Structure 1
């Protein structure tokens, strides 16, 4: 199914991709429910939420569906809590990745209650519907997955938990984030490929290891590596070896994943550093770093190396570029 993803912002306005609902727009919980039903719909019904939740629903979210997999990212400024009887059978596997706050599953005070704190993940088979509750300021990613392919990998406890920054979870998060931006343009074959990669990555989370030689995982490996590059651009240790170590893949398979996109790992790192240096050169002169300071900050060997790389990429030296931006703004 080609979905751009349902989004609801803190003002209560719901959007699907970039198109807004016609005025007057639903607000708060109504906006969330409307967006969910439009983009997710059949097979993934919303539970009954507590009156306190629906009255003060300050949640930013986006969601999409790929076949029998649903992906939701949310940040709740307010707490979220379900309420009322939960009947029936779900027979689903759910993956919770909590970045901030906490997510608690199970009836309150029940022996089966389980809390996923910030920085952790839980992948669990859900046989019957469960209540859940979050604390205010919770940020999490939740995937609903088919049980048949994943339940056998979860062991006797029917759940696996661990750190959210594990290689397997990083790869799954990178792939699911890519889906938000691409699923609306995918044809049937592309949807099947996106779905099969999601399942393979979910299996990797359940097994706690990645088969980095699996060709279907190459785009997720490359994207997760790019996410790491962007968060470590000023780190002197940033390299292909460091990225491979963080993602628990071989350097060779990391290089292969990047090669599919036509740009080697080292070239991507240098290009991103040059892009950030170029942005820094547009700052007002009073607060701008010098060329030598930029070279050192973005881990170039010295000013000469930085100037040559910058001129090769942008056709001008850093000083010439800074002057041109200053002239354009005057």
Structure 2
């Protein structure tokens, strides 16, 4: 187990080594309370006589919410939720590898495969099985989500526009949480909760200013995965992310750039990297066509504007043969 200096914003623990399941959970819980704080308790877990508890986790805390990357070598037992003396919680599991099974008496068994999520409100005991499974787990205050969670297991695809927007914000919080002020951490949680509401309602309100950073991140990730698509445009990105084109442009303006500018710069950077290849270096016309520039002249002008050199000059300074023009 990795020990921190005391309750804070980060947590890391590893109890994947074979051993007594109850002891493994006790080590996990004590590490959680020492590093995250008793105000945000880990849900109680009962391995049972045939159960197992071998997991590792790395987590960050944003105000009253926790975001954890969890790897389960073997987890078999009952999640008993939080004690009645604690505030109610909502848990969201976004499964990334293999599957995580949940069984409740009135809901039956539900298996969540990779690429899907499950959201539950702590309450009825839930029997869980997860072997060689990786997941992103969110722990949120239930009061902030109101009646949207109800008392049921809620599942869906992690590929929806709403989930992509949520996960982009989750990643951004993980990267910046150590530098956030208390007010910033609270704002990050507010945005997190609004995005979860968007998932539950199957719509994300991108007009909220606090969601702007997450929207820009999600749009950039989506654009960067489609740079060779001739149809890539701000309207396509807005449609995929379920926001208006105006909302998308406003979010980028707040970040002091434009949607089209990001796409052009990203395409030029990919072309620049291809020019560094020691062998099989593509020609100028080929690069222009592949990265969706109107023609070679347009590509050369854009490249020189961004890097101060023409593609041929850049190739010469980086070593190797000059790219052909055909």
- TM-score computed with the length of structure 1 as normaliser: 0.80
The verdict on how the C-alpha distance between 1:297 and 1:49 changes in structure 2, with shifts beyond 3 A counting, is farther
Alignment correspondent of 2:316: 323
Contact 2:276–2:318 under 8 Å retained in 1: yes
How many aligned residue pairs are there?
Answer: 303
- For residue 310 of structure 1, what is the aligned residue in structure 2? 303
Matches within 5 A, 1:129-148: 129-136=125-132, 138-148=133-143
* 1:44 Cα offset (Å): 2.6
Corresponding residue SS for 1:256: helix
Deviation at 1:82?
3.7
2:200 paired residue among 200, 206, 220: 206
Once residues 82 and 297 of structure 2 are traced to their aligned partners in structure 1, the CA distance between those partners, rounded to angstroms, is: 69
Unaligned runs of 5+ in 1: 13-27
**Are 1:251 and 2:251 an aligned pair?**
no
Which residue of the partner structure matches residue 62 of structure 2?
Answer: 66
CA shift digits 1:151-187 (9 cap, x unpaired): 41134x5343221111221111111110111111111
8 Å Cα contact 1:93/1:151 also seen in 2: no
| TM-score, normalised by the number of residues in structure 2 | 0.81
Q: Contact conserved, 2:43 with 2:79, CA < 8 A, in 1?
A: no
Structure 1 distance, partners of 2:313, 2:248, is 36
Q: Distance in 1 between matches of 2:316 and 2:27?
A: 48
2:149 to 144, 148, 154: 154
| CA RMSD across the alignment | 3.2
Q: How far off is 1:4 after superposition?
A: 5.9
Q: For residue 20 of structure 1, what is the aligned residue in structure 2?
A: none
Cα distance in 1 between the residues matched to 2:79 and 2:183: 41
SS in 2 for 1:135: strand
Aligned match for 2:226, one of 225, 232, 245: 232
Contact 2:102 2:109 in 1 (8 A): yes
307-316 vs 297-306, which deviates more? 297-306
